[in-house]
A = this chain, B = another copy of it.
Amino acid sequence: MITIKEIARQLNMSTTTVSNVIHGKAGEVSDDTKKKVQDFLDKVDYVPNINARNLAQNESKIIGLALKARADKYENLIMDPFVSVLIGGVEETIRNAGYFMMLYISSDTGEIMRHVSTWNVDGLILFGMLNDDGIRVSEKYKKPIVCIDTYSLEGLKHFTNIGLDDEQGTYDMASYLISQGHKKIAFLSDNMNGVDLARLNGYKKALKDAGIKYKETNFLKIRPRAEDIDESLEEICKRAPEFTAIMCVSDLYAVTLMSALEDRGIKVPDDISIVGFDDNMLGQLHRPALTTVHQDVKAKGVTAADTLLKQLKGQKTPNQIKLPTRIIVRDTVKNIKTDNKESYKDIFSKKRNDSYSCK
């Protein structure tokens, strides 16, 4: 790899002159030499050594994207189709801004932070991995941090968060179910923290506003670990007849559940209505096609990256951005209203099998 020094030697001039041409410092070098240098640069296909540049400038032009890897390999976040879309959004945005992306998958916040400071990363996007320990460690490294989908209250105080209006999403969906005559609505999720909790709350609120009482028994817990998913599903399917509809915290759960119900001869939506959250391929391709809450995952990645880039430029950014959701009505909800005077379909346009991308 040719260096500035070598170029300067061959052109019989100083390195600073060459450097000035490279950086387009107009007025500091005559048009004549500028052209001479530029031609030479093109000829030898000069590429700067980024390590030297970063060392001299004390910056890295790297943005780190840290993804939580759960301890259980079956649940590794990276395995979720969702994630690659998000990565794509981040990468595209920062590349267009002249930054590079270093991807890091780990559940050890300390390790992440060490990595970040080793590489002198300019900024950090955290996805799914902000706990209180993480916050404590990250305070030491004064780099801008943007979180995606964090619900850590402590974290919200310190960092920008890019999230979703989860509560509104489930509120709308539960309201839709209620409008279709459903009263016995279960909520299926695997925990009561973070995103899951926010979604649960939206659902609860809709019930409350409709005058329906929420009972603890409405909460169906799914255990997604590979070893016990079967017994988990068995139990949920057994309890399904208690309800006329089940709201699932994600499309993945919804589709998983539908498959399990189908295996046991329970028909969706005739026997029970099922709805999801996310609007991914899984639900789009399933038959009956899944009625769900749509979120724009790529926009999440793009917004997170944009926000971080703004912070790097010293611009102020809101410390909480909630992207909107909208419900997508497909074929997994049955209208069980006896009084059919006013159809909800008039309000929520029924959109069948939205086009999606393939391969």
Contacts and interface: CB of A to CB of B under 8 A. Distances in A.
Given A78-B91, A286-B286, A50 B120 contact: yes
B253 A49 contact: no
A114 interface: yes
Contact of A51 (B60, B79, B281, B357): B60
A181 interface: no
A64 to B, nearest CB: 10
Interface string A50-61: 111011000010
A224 B359 contact: yes
A355 interface: yes
Interface in A118-133: 118-120
Number of copies: 2
Contact of A55 (B49, B81, B117): B49
B84 A81 contact: yes
A242 interface: no
A11 to B, nearest CB: 21
Given A79-B85, A87-B78, A50 B226 contact: no
Interface residues of A, number: 68
Contacts of A172: none
B262 A49 contact: no
B119 A92 contact: no
Interface stretch (A25-33, A95-103, A161-169, A334-342): A95-103
A76 B298 CA distance: 12
Contacts of A54: 51
A230 B55 contact: no
Interface of A: 1, 45, 47-52, 54-55, 60, 74-76, 78-81, 83-85, 87-88, 91-92, 95, 100-106, 114-115, 117-120, 140, 190, 222, 224-226, 229-230, 250, 252-253, 255-256, 258-259, 262-263, 281-282, 285-287, 289, 353, 355-359
Given A50-B120, A81-B81, 10 more contacts: A1-B117, A49-B120, A78-B85, A79-B85, A91-B104, A92-B105, A100-B102, A101-B102, A101-B104, A224-B357
